[in-house]
Amino acid sequence: MAGEVILSIENVAVQFGGLVALSELTFTVCEGEIVGLIGPNGAGKTTAFNVFTGFLKPTSGEVRYRGTLLNGLKPYEIAGLGLVRTFQRTSVFQNNSVFENVLIGLHRRGRSTLWDTLLALPREKIAEREVAGKAREILALVGLESRAAELAGALSYGEQRLLGIALALAAQPSMLLLDEPVSGMNPSESAKVMKLVETIRARGVAILLVEHDMPTVMQVSDRIVVLNYGRIIAEGSPAEIQRHPDVIRAYLGEGKKRA
């Protein structure tokens, strides 16, 4: 579609003991693309995310990001390459302020060394000022700038999810993996998140989106990959997926055969 392939998954399989969580998973995501990854509960979507971001080792198969083989890399190394994820459950640093959360997320942009810090060199102050400026920018982007001083744990559920995205954005991703970003949100909140997703894509960040809310996925995705029981059962444009018989069966079950 859009540009060059950024993430390529080849024949990835994951087994927990005898349970096959993923098998023969093969697909790609291109630069600047939004790909939806959908499937019924337990289809293996989150397992796939864990494999791509180094939280789980695949039993077999290869994951490449911009040509670099990710197998065996640690999560922080993968994040360092620009492939950054969010988590399904709210994941923010609850006991820190919203502003500090983003500062933590900006870790990779800091350059000050141990000696700069210990000796309080001017370089340290400049770096801290830069980082604080970036943090304000990111908070403005996700619309949380007025909550900067609040404790993250005191935010509403929807705001915490937004902060989770802000944290991921702070890590300077070239591709973002969003794990159910709008689950449990009311329609206006989820519309806000989807607008944010479009904004992020407009900045040249590819996005892989796991989401249950069908209308949302159909609306923003360029392409959709459907998983069921750990396998890809369909792949294509939103319109194609909506008509795909296997997808309908996976979600609605097999209807009564007409007599």
| Sole window of 61-69, 148-156, 199-207, 211-219 interacting with another protein (rule: CB under 8 A) | 148-156
97 binds another protein (CB under 8 A): yes
Minimum CB separation of residue 211 from another protein in Å reads: 19
- Binds another protein by CB under 8 A, chosen from 40, 75, 236, 238: 75
Instruction: Please check whether residue 93 is in contact with residue 166, taking contact to mean a CB–CB distance below 8 angstroms.
Output: no
Minimum CB separation of residue 257 from another protein in Å reads: 46
117 binds another protein (CB under 8 A): yes
Using CA atoms, how far apart are residues 90 and 160, in angstroms rounded to an integer?
Answer: 6
179 binds another protein (CB under 8 A): no
3-state helix, strand, coil in the chain (%, to 5): 40, 25, 35
Instruction: Please check whether residue 229 is in contact with residue 43, taking contact to mean a CB–CB distance below 8 angstroms.
Output: yes
Task: Name the residue among 38, 89, 36, 35 with its Cα closest to residue 212.
Answer: 38
Residues that contact another protein, how many (by CB under 8 A): 45
Minimum CB separation of residue 109 from another protein in Å reads: 9
- Phi first, then psi: what are they for 233, rounded to 5°? -105, -15
Using CA atoms, how far apart are residues 173 and 126, in angstroms rounded to an integer?
Answer: 23
Q: Which helix (H) or strand (E) holds 108?
A: none
Written as six digits, the tokens of 153 are 């744990």
Q: Are strands 175-179 and 83-85 parallel, antiparallel or unpaired?
A: parallel
Which residues lie closer than 8 Å to 113 by C-beta, 6 or more apart? none
210 binds another protein (CB under 8 A): no
Minimum CB separation of residue 253 from another protein in Å reads: 35
92 binds another protein (CB under 8 A): yes
| Sole window of 12-20, 37-45, 101-109, 193-201 interacting with another protein (rule: CB under 8 A) | 101-109
| Sole window of 3-11, 76-84, 182-190, 216-224 interacting with another protein (rule: CB under 8 A) | 76-84
131 binds another protein (CB under 8 A): yes
Written as six digits, the tokens of 191 are 């519309």
Residues contributing to the site for another protein (CB under 8 A)? 53, 55, 74-76, 79-80, 84-87, 91-100, 103-105, 107-108, 110, 112, 114, 117-118, 120, 124, 127-128, 131-132, 146, 148-150, 167-168, 170-171
